[in-house]
Structure 1
Amino acid sequence: MKTLTARRRHILALVANGNTNAQIGRLLGIHERTVNRHLAEIFQVLGARDRANAVAIALVVGELSPQHIHMPTQEAAA
């Protein structure tokens, strides 16, 4: 299996933390369409169907670790 680039791993970590493509684009200073292209490549590399599946596969194969995912605070969850 091919591995993800550092940029794509970063984007997937942002996805894993609940960010939309538009939010990721703003955070990284790139266009939302560029985020879409990165995600398409991420899905292809991982053999994923969608965002949730990509995060799950990335955790299993070691592209992401649980430390990449931040638990929401109780105030934010309420």
Structure 2
Amino acid sequence: MNLRQKSRATSAILTFLFGPLGVFYSSAAGGIVLILIAIASAGTVIGPILCWIAAIIWGDHTVRRHNESLDRLLNRPSDGDT
């Protein structure tokens, strides 16, 4: 497991600009899945657009989950704790 925090802002920028390729910052498996879905649905216009939107959501979710897991592992309070 990577023991460094990942930036949600970096993830958002990468996925916004590069779509499924940007998901590789947070999840290699997620990037591969979204690229395969985008390629499979390339004959339609809506498929790649939905993959792009899903990439932004997936990237943010994966980074947030990674950071929360890291906080639990290192016994640090997460951003959601008060």
Q: Same fold (TM over 0.5)?
A: no
TM-score, normalization: structure 1? Answer: 0.29
Compare CA radii of gyration and give the structure with the larger one: 2
